[in-house]
Amino acid sequence: MPDSRPTNEAVFIYVGSNNEQSTRDFAIMLNEWSTKVDNFGRPIRILMNSAGGNILDSLFLYQIFCLLRKRGHYLTIVAYGRCSSCSGWLLQAADKRVIGAESWILIHQVSSRADGYLDAMLAEIARCKQLRAQTDHLLTFRTKGKLTVETIRRRTKGGREWWIDAKTAKAHGLVDEVEETPDFPVAA
């Protein structure tokens, strides 16, 4: 299959958990690269293997990806290995969403470690409900109805994790393309 990537595409690799340090460092690097005159409008490909992480740090990175698109960069994000938790909706920030044929997306409920006084815990529960609505929207709004909030809630009910293989991710509209593993040469 011929390579359909845009010419002059810059490739970046993002691996690890989405936390304050990793998202900040990646955002700074992307911003510095993006604002160099020679890179204006240049297409970007991000190869991502992430275990997910902190919601608010991930929302920051989601907005940075959107900023890159606003600046005229055509953004492709390719999920390799795992695209877990928050990274599943980071993938949705791309113009083109791709997953490797042997890769997985993980969806689960919002989690928190609330403790302390009852009022504080109730406030945290209300905040978690807001974050769940926001992140469910980020996962479903580009799927053209193939994946619904109701499906996500049913599949993750009771704290279950929902691991989605590449072909199922495409069928649910979470990705635009499955990048097939290239054939290996056959010995003569």
Q: Using one digit for the tens of pLDDT, what is the confidence trace for 13-25?
A: 999 999 999 999 9
152 neighbors 85 (Cβ within 8 angstroms)? no
**Interatomic CA distance for residues 78 and 5, integer angstroms:** 12
Over the stretch 112-141, which tens digit does the pLDDT of each residue have? 888 899 999 999 999 999 999 999 999 999
Task: Look at the domain 10-179 and name its fold.
Answer: 2-enoyl-CoA Hydratase; Chain A, domain 1 (3.90.226)
**Interatomic CA distance for residues 83 and 131, integer angstroms:** 19
pTM for this model (two decimals): 0.91
Over the stretch 52-72, which tens digit does the pLDDT of each residue have? 999 999 999 999 999 999 999
Burial class, 81, CB count within 10 angstroms (exposed 0-12 / middle 13-18 / buried 19+): middle
Q: Residue 1 — very low, low, confident or very high, per pLDDT cuts 50/70/90?
A: very low
